[in-house]
Structure 1
């Protein structure tokens, strides 16, 4: 009979196994402490215990009653994720709980010392805060220590069961103070720490708009962790208030501009929604072609013209001289209002300088295009006196079309006295003597007058200079200067 040889582990192996166990226990002790919140996966539910894998070699164990809902049914099962608080650490197990339970002063003090959250039922609104029933005792929660999101309607919290941290236990449990705000802040700091490990400047993130402010909007990056999008970074368009472009609950993408700390150590995350969308001027030359007629929204008025948004963040300028064919415009307010939608013709696109020249009058069509057919030589026309000068009467025949009754022709007319009495705004009927569409000139005469040469060029020059004196020409120079100043600003 041969003896079976029993192999015993070498001393080196035993030392390695013991070192591994010791390292595992040390690691678990360092990583998990009472009062710490952990996430894990349910391994099994047996009897009155729930076994949870919390990511280390030692499993977590919580009582089965922690996973029962209001109807007494298990809310989670094997394979489901669960969050819980560490209430005890030993080499054999990690004791977990969704909240502190029990009753009496000892339970209150244990929860206070371990920093464990407890379930509390808000029973009433009282002076300075709320009465909360916690572990069989009546506690006080100051109004400043309640959930800030619900402070607008204090009565809405009555009857609700929330989680709190116990701040103070005095006089054998007769004076108990709790705080929900402290618990939320602790959870926020934990989430922030995890977020900052992976978040970097220039990253693009996605989140939900949590609240609006006068200076911008706050975006939730993680539970209870927010970043701020300033008004100037919400959109490429001009934004006066955050609710013009976003609403609470909207899911948006944003670019991380900066991560900083203030003097109090508070972390600030600055975000940009518009930069996550890309610069609209990069595609402006492809989408906006010179010569095309497009629609836009009047964003603002200036002494020299109006700025119209053609694409989000892309504006063009209608110079005051491009607003009407029919009348002289002194102020843009005479024909345009902020917020209205207008049709404009694109005259020029300079993407490098971020400038687009627009024309309101060209979008309506050039009235001189068919003037030769509408005002043929010899035709009788009716108009309104626009002005009287030493060279004669300028008569408005149609929007954008003005004719001249020369002083010499008017003087030699049979009823010259009648024409001598005409003034601005008076109606008059005349005959077209000559028309030059290229020069935009029509020469008029009283009915029955023989055709004559085109009126003296000096009259038209005097008429043009009188318009320039009203400010049109000067505004062209001023417009450029103001545009440059606004661009620098």
Structure 2
């Protein structure tokens, strides 16, 4: 009889596929201090430790007769007892709920426990899921302390049944919430509606305003009626402002806002006071490379294009004609009240600065100026606001002009002499070396070709011998004529006598030859010259 009962029991287990790890239902029939007795309709009741019945808040919710899910740990442990587990059953239940949420798109709750490589670990009660850092929020967060130890909403985006792990996203939930808020806002949005928002970001072309779920663009031209160079001149990030909806696009989710539309339009009925073709006064408020802007009245600005400025002068830098806050008389060329555009013309009755300069200065006069720029070929000097002069590199110094030019810097005040005026091209050429006496000209004025000059050898090379005749006066002796002369007779700083052959005005160098006391002896015969050098004259 016992054997027959055992066979029936085994048969029922196979029929129900009851094996270790199977999830089954049971009923709580008793609760002791340490165990919960559960009847799972098996060979015997199972004892489950009381600690396995704690919920996510560490509380016990147990009632006799309550039906629960458990897993089979062991159908028979050898002592005739059936071992059950509530802990593993809760894990299977949670995993099944997680898979269900993945397939249905349901939002689940969880808590960020700690940070790991590439993201965070999220506790979904009895299961841990991975949250990539890029899916934490819509925008990157530098600090997440306000999200720690706080129940948050997540969406399951990936399930791995083999490895039993899951990937969740908080960003997906926030985007869903944002889309719901955005759709609600767009459903109630009207052009001309006035809304309150916060300045979220400022760029060079405008500002983005958070309207409570939707960002709108406040373009720089819609901030004030007058011209501003940058929105930060008026707006500050974080400030609360009221804006007007100019237009919006539901399909592209774009909203265009205006701030100046909430204040009085200074262009309103402007044609009643100002007429096209009339003459008026404006204040210069901005200068560009194509013209300048003049303020007709507060909030009303117009362009004075340089093509509309008439002046009897061919070459002039218009950027130097005006200064900010200058008051000038203009002619209203065009006035468009609807498009808020106005164009001015200006006829300058200015004297020609070039004519004034050439009537004041002449060649040979010394003038003061500032170094405007340095180039490879010379220095440009600013003599006044409209006149510039050039000091060519050859006119910087009588001696070593390249080295001396390197000592000058932009902005230095410098005194120079006018050495040439080109009236056709309106150019002025200046010189620095001309202020001082030319040492070579002064030296040559006191000698002739018959004069014997004295100098000191400063350099000896294969082609020539460099001789210093006086301060900043250099002469050269070509070694070709004295190729048989041994170097032992020539030394640096030796004093020599020489005759002047000619003067090279291009290089500012005097060509010399060794002095020959006997005119009938040619320079190529060097026997007398050897004797001459041995005496060290």
TM range (shorter): 0.3 to 0.5
The structure with the larger Rg is: 2
- Could you state the TM-score of these two structures normalised by the residue count of structure 1? 0.47
Which structure would you say has the larger RCO, counting Cα contacts within 8 Å and 6 or more residues apart?
1
